[in-house]
Amino acid sequence: MNKPPEPPDPLQPLWDAQEAAILLEAGSKTIAKLMDDNARLLKELGEWQTKYVNSCEQVVLAAAGNAKVIRALDASCQLIEALLAWLPEGIPVSPDVGSAKGAWSEAMKAIRR
């Protein structure tokens, strides 16, 4: 025997509306929290980007400084080579000059490897 269908609950639409309002409020709070998190993360990203740009600028400045030092070293090396080439053979030089020349020659060999 078939049971007759139960009559609809007259309070069900009210219950559904209340439940929907609760879910809507919870969803709104979740969205607001996510938007706050997104804003915070965007701010942090901007700070990291600024730090990255600043560090890149420091690297460029350091490279420019290194280039100046290398250019000065190269000019000094050329001068030393020219002065040593013009020294007459067999001229007596101070032992300090001889050892400095030897150290300089070894350093240049190491650089050119």
pLDDT in tens for each of the 113 residues of the chain?
677 777 777 666 666 778 888 889 999 999 999 999 999 999 999 999 999 999 999 999 999 999 998 899 889 888 888 887 787 777 777 778 778 878 888 888 887 77
User: What are the residue ranges spanned by the domains of the chain?
Assistant: 12-112
Q: What is the pLDDT of residue 80?
A: 82
Contact (CB, 8 A) for 104 and 110:
no
Contact (CB, 8 A) for 77 and 108:
yes
Written as one string, the DSSP assignment of 61-83 is HHHHHHHHHHHHHHHHHHHHHHH
